[in-house]
Every structure is written in structure tokens, then in C-alpha cells.
Amino acid sequence: MNSIGKSERETQNRVIALFRDELEYRYLGDHSDRPDNSNIDGNLLTAYLAGAGYSSDQISRAIYLLRKEAENPNRSLYENNQAVYALLRYGVKVKTEAGQNTVTVELINWTQAEKNDFAIVEEVTLRGGFERRPDLVLYINGIAIAVIELKKSCVSISEGIRQLLSNQLPEFNQWFFTTVQIVFAGSDSEGLKYGTIGTEEKMFLKWKEDEQDDTRYKLDKYLLKMCRKDRLIELIHDFVLFDGGRKKLPRVHQYFGIKASQARVRQYLGGIIWHTQGSGKSIVMVLLAKWILENLSKARVLILTDREELDKQIEQVFGASGETIHRTSSGRDLLEKLGQAAPRLLCSLIHKFGKKGVDDFDAFIEELKNLPSPAIGEIFVFVDECHRTQSGRLHKTMKALLPGAVFIGFTGTPLLKADKETTLETFGSYIHTYKFKEAVEDEVVLDLVYEARDIEQALGSQDKIDAWFEKKTEGLNDWQKAALREQWGTMQKVLSSRCRGNRAAPERSAQQQERRRGNHRQQRPQQDHQGAPQRSGLLRQNVSPLEGNPRRPQSKAAQLPRVSQEDSRTDPQAAPARHRLGHTQKTRYPRQAGALQQPDLAHWLRQHRDCA
């Protein structure tokens, strides 16, 4: 199976044979010299619709309306594609004569994939702008659904992706892509990537399935997986998302996560979808909610979060995808909407299930369980970040109010053993998992790299610290001094102080920005003022943070621990060493000697707890 040196023509011939012999598509030949290539083949579509039982008038009207939406010159490619998709998915409503009932002409049979006419064409010459010729085009019932660009093994499939993108420009053949739902680029050496109209090169996706099967080219294997008739129909029908100006297709883990969830939903069983952070759980929520509402006539979906910003985000995500979602304003509003048949899609904060002034919580829960549920319909509850709320009173109240609801938890946070057990008890077993390691391998998220940073710490002068302490506490008794020593007598207290963190964070941030600018080259260590090699970042100076920072001179007023200005003038050595990671904050100390009362000691501690 050596692919080195094979031409693009050989690859293309093999792929055509795969579609013809294994996927059972009709091969319609080479259309390079055909003068009237189109994304809507009127003859093929007419033949399919006639076989489906529609009259000639209905067929003519449906094709006219389809072309009208596809060729609207006043809209963008995205808008035309969205309008065409609506006709493909929901049918074309036609009325041939006044007084007749409206008939919905179904352009694609979504329930019985084998009833459709699947065809493949090669070298489809496109005219209208600068002439281009896609390698392969897939048609369903005469409508161009997918475009495939192939490259020989020694050429990157990025070339194919860029070719697909340039073909969608107005200067070339943007008109052809108004019906296209999926685009592919592939080669024998790199496999297959997929996207849709407008997908940026860096956002093209890889399919992953049956990875242990290495008996054939990955290009062939994944075309067989994705372009199988029933799966291609399913991908177009259930997994296309128009999201506020961007058309999206699911990643492979999102597809299989939703498929596993659909099986649970059919059985009215809940569970947990554990997809690592940053892998697109919101898209899973949108696509799963749409499927539930469309396939279960009595179903209603309630999406719960525990933070205001997440609640707003859910509303925005669903709104951008074209779904109408009601965001509840209060607990009363939530219960009122649950008690009505509409809206079917709601989002809310889990805190709206709370009730103030409950003394005996267990009795309150039992009382709720004995009351009839206030909700109408079959309630499916999506709980975002479910690991944070699964064991609280609010969650128990929610389950008591919605006893028949199906709960699906979404999370991507690694759980402690106790939290994991509680989460499983609350929601049920895992529906689907997508772990961090998988996401890194799939380049969905960046790897988490930990760099150990050992910052040397030492006191500049123990004697000076003791002298400073005695001077500042000369008005305190032995018990009060002991309390202060216990509070600040360890390096842990000093190193964990807020002032040190405020100095460490900017240096760490600066180092990260420097890395992002690509400054990774090896540099010869420079010699510091003592002749020792300097180290980068927080280790750059071979000087203790408590001994000062020679790169940034500070005024005596900024030195920590502080002494009075008068002490500093009379004895320059009286000021102890500066805290390199310190934080300058003007502090007033008692000037008069005399015993401090206990409240004064507490106030003094509060002033100094962040900068010792």
C-alpha cells in the first residue's frame, strides 16, 4: 500500500471505484466538456420527484423556487446556502392553482436514505467566473451536496483546502456552492479533512473511527464512513448548524456524543456527557436539544447553569443558531413557564429553585415530593458544569419539583473520587467521554505544560529583621509579640502573601508573551554582576527575592519591611532588605510607645497580612 509517487489520477480513479462499487453511487462520467454544469441538475431532480409521485406542475414550481433561493444576487453565500438548506430539510411549499391546498415537495427523503438517487461526477467544469474544475462532486437527487478535492501523495491537502476556499469566492464560482453542505480534501498520504462552506483552513476537521483498522488508505476508509448513504443523509439533516454567520459541522466526538445521547433519550434515561473543557459542549447542547424537540412531540428542554454569565452564553448560543429560547427572569417565572405548554426550550439558573426561610430542609423536600409536578410535558434537563451543583440543596429541590424529568449532566472538569461517585449517583452512568489526551491528539485543545519554577528564597539579614521587629513592637507585651511571630514567623506566610503574588504574576505574563512572539532560540547565558550565569523568567537574577532586585531600584519609602523615614535617614542600614516580589503600599505605624489593646493588635495584623 505504498502511496509514494502515485499520481492524482490514480487516486481519483480508485476513489470513484470506491463510490461506485462499495457505496453504490451512480457514476455519471466526466463533465469537463459539458457546457451547462450546475449545482441543480433539473433533469435528475425532475426524474426523482416524478418517481416520488409529484405532478409536473408541482415539480416545475418546486425547482423554480429552489433556484430562486440558490441564485439570489442580493445575499451572501452564507445566506443563500442557509435558505437552500431550509428547503432541502423542510421541503418546498408549492401551490400551483388558486384555491388548491399547499403541498410540501420533499426534495430529499430523509427517513429512507436508499430511496434517494446518489450520484458521483468527476471533473465538473464550472463557468461564470474564472473557470475551475472540482475533482469530484456528489449529487443527491440532482442537487450538488458535496465537493471533493484530491491531491497526489507528495502534495499537502492544504492545497486542496485552499482550492476549495478560492472556488467559493465571487470571482470564481461562488454560485455553485449555494447548495453544497460538505466539502472534502484528501490524499493518500495525509488522509481526509472535511468542512463546509466558509470553513477556514485551520478549522477543517479530521474524522476518526475504527482506528485499529489499518488495512486500507485512511482516505478511502473515512470516505466510506462519512459518505455512506445513511450517514451522509444523517449528517446533513441532524448535524448542520448555522451559527450567527458561520456554518458548522460537528467534530467526530460531538457526533458520537450526540448519537449516544439520542439512544439514551429514546429510553428516557439520563447520564453524563464528559467532554474536556474547550471541546465544544455548547454545540452538543444545541444539536441535541434540536433533535429532542423535533423527534419527541411532547418534549421540552430546560438548560440549567450556576452562573449568570453562563446563562447569558447559553441564550446567545441558541439564539445565534436560530433557536428561540426563553431565559427565565425569576423562580416564579420559571415555574410559570414550566406549567405551560410553551415555550418548549428554556434556560435558567439553578438558584431559581431555591426558597428562603426553610428551617427543616428534609421535611420541605418530602412535602415537594408529595405534591404534583408543576411541569407540563416530558422534561429533559441539561445541567451545565454538573459537577458543581449535583450534591447541593438546589439540585435536590429541582429533582423534587421535576420527579419525572430526564437529567443529562455536562462537564469537562476532572473530578475527585468523592465528587465522581456523587455525580454518577445523581445523573447515572457516562453517556460519552472525550478526554483531555484525546483532545490534544486531535488538536482540539492545546496541551497543558507545567514548568516547575523553583525560586530561591533567603532572608537578607535575620538580625536586622529581629531588630526591626523589636523596634516596631516595643509597646506590646510578650503575649502580643508571640501572636505576631506565630502569624508571620514562617517563610510560607511570606511567600504566599498577596504582595509577592502581585509581583510574580506580571513577570510570568511577560515571559508567556515573549514565548508567543516566537522567541525560543537558545541564547548564551549572560554573566551577572557576580559572574554567575543569569536565568530566565523569575530565576533571571541569582539574588534572593528578600535581598532586593538590582534591576529595579526602589525608594526607601517602598522598602519592605518598612521603617520610618526618620530611621532611614539617620541609619541607612536600619532598613532591612527589600522583598523582590513585594508590593509597595503606604503603611502607617503607631508613632507613640505604649501598650496596644487587643483590637489595635487585630487591626495591625490586618494591615500587614499581605505585606510582611
Per-residue pLDDT, 581: 37
User: Highest mean pLDDT: which of 205-219, 301-315, 570-584?
Assistant: 205-219
- 206/78 same-domain check: yes
Q: Is there a domain that residue 536 lies in? A: no
Average pLDDT over residues 301-325: 85
Q: How far is CA 465 from CA 481, 525, 566, in A?
A: 14, 34, 18
The alpha-carbon radius of gyration of the chain (Å, integer) is: 34
C-alpha cell at 602: 487585630
CB 287 within 8 A of CB 276: no
Average confidence (pLDDT) over 545-558? 40
Q: What is the DSSP string of 116-138?
A: S-EEEEES--B-SSS-B--SEEE
Q: What is the pTM of this model?
A: 0.72
User: 608 and 461 in one domain?
Assistant: yes
Give mean pLDDT, residues 388-415: 74
285 and 142 fall within a common domain: no
Domain boundary among the residues 195, 221, 237 is at 237
Pairing of strands 92-94, 103-105: antiparallel
- Has residue 277 been placed in a domain? yes
Residue 260 lies in a domain: no
Q: Do 230 and 285 reside in the same domain of the chain?
A: no
What is the domain extent for residue 551? Answer: 454-486+542-612
For 121-155, write each residue's pLDDT tens digit: 999 999 887 889 999 999 999 999 999 999 998 89
Q: Order the strands of the 271-275 sheet from edge to edge.
A: 326-327, 345-349, 299-305, 378-384, 406-411, 271-275, 430-434
Are the CB atoms for 398 and 350 separated by under 8 Å? yes
C-alpha cell at 322: 436560530
- Classify 582 as helix, strand or coil: coil
User: Residue 224 — very low, low, confident or very high, per pLDDT cuts 50/70/90?
Assistant: very high
pLDDT tier at 221, thresholds 50, 70, 90: very high
Highest mean pLDDT: which of 338-347, 495-504, 555-564, 585-594?
338-347
166-175, 266-275, 505-514: which range is least confident on average? 505-514
Domain count, the chain: 3
Residue 530 lies in a domain: no
Q: What is the pLDDT of residues 68-78, one digit of tens each?
A: 999 999 999 99
Query: What is the chain's mean pLDDT, rounded?
Result: 79
Give yes or no for residue 554 having a pLDDT over 80: no
pLDDT of residue 529: 39
On whether both 139 and 29 belong to a single domain, the answer is yes
- Evaluate the omega torsion of the peptide bond into residue 561 and state whether it is cis, within 30 degrees of 0: yes
Q: Are residues 121 and 175 in the same domain?
A: yes
Report the CATH number at residue 304: 3.40.50.300
- Does residue 524 belong to any structural domain of this protein? no
Same domain, 233 and 300: no
Least confident segment among 273-287, 443-457, 524-538: 524-538
* Residue 524: pLDDT over 50: no
87 and 136 together in one domain: yes
Q: How confident is the model at residue 369 (pLDDT cuts 50, 70, 90)?
A: low
Domain boundary among 237, 255, 278: 237
* 144 and 205 fall within a common domain: yes
Q: Are residues 348 and 213 located together in one domain of the fold?
A: no
Domain boundary among 378, 406, 441: 441
Whether 426 and 466 share a structural domain: no
Asked whether residue 48 is domain-assigned, the answer is yes
**Residue 206: is its pLDDT beyond 80?**
yes
**For residues 594 and 466, what is the distance between their CA atoms, to the nearest angstrom?**
20
Question: Over pLDDT 70: what percentage of the chain?
Answer: 70
By three-state DSSP, how is residue 97 classified?
Answer: coil
345 in any annotated domain? yes
Rounded CA gap, 314 and 69, in Å? 31
Question: Are 437 and 467 within one domain?
Answer: no
Burial classification of residue 249, based on how many CB atoms lie within 10 Å of its CB (0-12 exposed, 13-18 middle, 19 or more buried): buried
pLDDT at 314: 86
487 within 8 A of 602, measured Cβ to Cβ: no
Distance CA 236, CA 551 (A): 61
Q: Considering only residues 309 and 288, tell me which one the structure prediction assigns the higher pLDDT.
A: 288
Angle between helices 229-238 and 77-90 (to 10 degrees): 110
Residue 282 lies in a domain: yes
Beta strands 241-243 and 246-248 are antiparallel
Residue 293 phi, psi (nearest 5): -65, -30
